[in-house]
Amino acid sequence: MVENTYKARLVEYLKKNLRKKYPIETLRIALVNQGYMRSVVDEAIKVAVNELAREAPVIKEKPEIEHEIISEEPLVEKNSFWKKIVDFFKR
């Protein structure tokens, strides 16, 4: 029971800080430096990430890409620098 509440508090702490956009590695290092066992921290991170993933909204539709033509003028193909040099020496 104590182990379960201990890990649950870690999971809540991790979820709160992951929502604030703290990197997982930074949180892991901070908790290990505070004296938490690495294995317990890793398990809590897995649980927290899975719970946050379940809470995330699912995107059901693909976004539509809209485009518009800015100019009606036809594009003029320009000769490259090397093409100009080759044409110069062909004369």
Residue identified by tokens 């809540």 is 12
Q: What is the pLDDT of residues 44-63, one digit of tens each?
A: 999 999 999 998 887 788 87
CB atoms within 10 A of CB 13: 14
Question: Does 17 or 69 have the greater pLDDT score?
Answer: 17
User: Concatenated DSSP letters for 14-66?
Assistant: HHHHHHTT--HHHHHHHHHHTT--HHHHHHHHHHHHHHHHHHSPPP-SPPPPP
Mean pLDDT of 33-48: 94
Residue-wise pLDDT tens digits, 57-85: 877 888 788 888 777 777 677 778 888 88
Amino acid at 33: N
Summarize the confidence of residues 2-22 as an average pLDDT.
89
